[in-house]
């Protein structure tokens, strides 16, 4: 079984959500770990195999290690037969790869620059800003229900997750708002929240 290092209400929550949607959560060993939070609370957990103590982190059956949410989500999708991805050769593969990379290569850096109130021409020429990100999502969706077409993929899960942390940065476009609602309702947040409550309890009892 692959082993996933997870901390509740963090970037690894979207991997838990993916596994729940795929019906594969029971086929992954989930290790709940503490992390250092943005406010400096918490600690680097010796149980966590991530070299910097971050989550998510995945150790595969054959002992390979995978860091970065996009890589982990794509690995798990492939491992379980592409239920929430677009496999090589299928229509939409290029769009799928583009959105997965756009998340970590553009959306996150632009969002972090916005949070940090960094305003530098090199940041803008490299990543653009949250304005262009909003425009790109709006035009990318067009009149499709999901980013790559008619069905939800992990590209939707990871792209929409950013606006869960930062709802105030959600693009104003009704197209984007409706898409985020659609993604959230497909994910069924109640089950994830029940899992996270148990994860918090496990962390508390091991403290």
What does the binding site for ligand GSH look like in residue numbers (CB under 6 A)? Answer: 10-11, 35-36, 53-56, 68-69
Cβ 76 vs Cβ 16: under 8 Å: no
Name 200's Cβ contacts closer than 8 Å, sequence gap at least 6.
8
Residue 36 or 123: the one with the smaller Cβ distance to ligand GSH is: 36
Cα gap 129→166, rounded to integer Å: 15
Task: State the nearest-atom distance from the C-beta of 193 to ligand GSH, in Å.
Answer: 17
Nearer to ligand GSH, 78 or 90 (CB): 78
Identify which of 65, 49, 159, 54 has the alpha carbon closest to the alpha carbon of residue 111.
159
Return the residue nearest ligand GSH (CB atom).
Answer: 54
Reading the block at residue 5, the tokens are 């290092």
Nearest to ligand GSH of 153, 161 (CB atom): 161
Question: Least distance (Å) from ligand GSH to the CB of residue 69?
Answer: 4
- Indicate the residue among 54 and 99 with the shorter CB distance to ligand GSH: 54
> 11 vs 152, which CB is nearer to ligand GSH?
11
Instruction: Give whichever of 7 and 153 is closer to ligand GSH, judged by the CB atom.
Output: 7
Q: How far is the CB of 159 from ligand GSH (least distance, A)?
A: 12
CB of 15 closer than 8 Å to CB of 202: no
Q: What is the closest distance, in whole angstroms, from the C-beta atom of residue 6 to ligand GSH in the complex?
A: 10
Least Cβ distance, residue 167 to ligand GSH (angstroms): 16
Q: Report which of 107, 123, 124 is spatially closest to residue 162, judged by C-alpha positions.
A: 107
Structure tokens at 157: 């899960």
Q: Do residues 162 and 103 touch, judged by C-beta distance below 8 A?
A: yes
Region of 117 (left: φ > 0; alpha: ψ -120 to 50; beta: rest) is left
> Closest distance between ligand GSH and the C-beta of residue 91, in Å?
27
Cis ω for the linkage preceding 61 (within 30 of 0): no
């Amino acid at each position: 079984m692959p082993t996933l290092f997870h901390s509740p209400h963090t970037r690894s929550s979207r991997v838990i959500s993916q596994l729940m949607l795929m019906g594969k959560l029971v086929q992954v060993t989930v290790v709940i770990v503490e992390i250092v939070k943005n406010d400096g609370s918490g600690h680097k957990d010796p149980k966590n195999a991530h070299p910097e103590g971050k989550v998510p982190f995945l150790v595969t059956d054959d002992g390979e290690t995978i860091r970065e949410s996009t890589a982990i989500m794509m690995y798990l999708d492939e491992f379980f037969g592409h239920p929430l991805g677009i496999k090589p050769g299928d229509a939409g593969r290029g769009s799928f790869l583009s959105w997965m990379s756009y998340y970590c290569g553009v959306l996150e850096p632009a969002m972090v620059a916005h949070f940090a109130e960094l305003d530098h021409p090199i940041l803008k020429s490299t990543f653009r800003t949250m304005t262009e990100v909003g425009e790109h999502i709006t035009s990318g969706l067009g009149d499709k229900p999901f980013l790559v077409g008619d069905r939800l993929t992990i590209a939707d899960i990871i792209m929409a997750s950013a606006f869960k942390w930062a709802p105030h940065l959600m693009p104003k476009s009704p197209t984007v708002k409706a898409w985020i609602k659609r993604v959230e309702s497909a994910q069924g947040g109640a089950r994830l929240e029940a899992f996270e409550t148990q994860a918090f309890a496990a962390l508390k009892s091991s403290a």
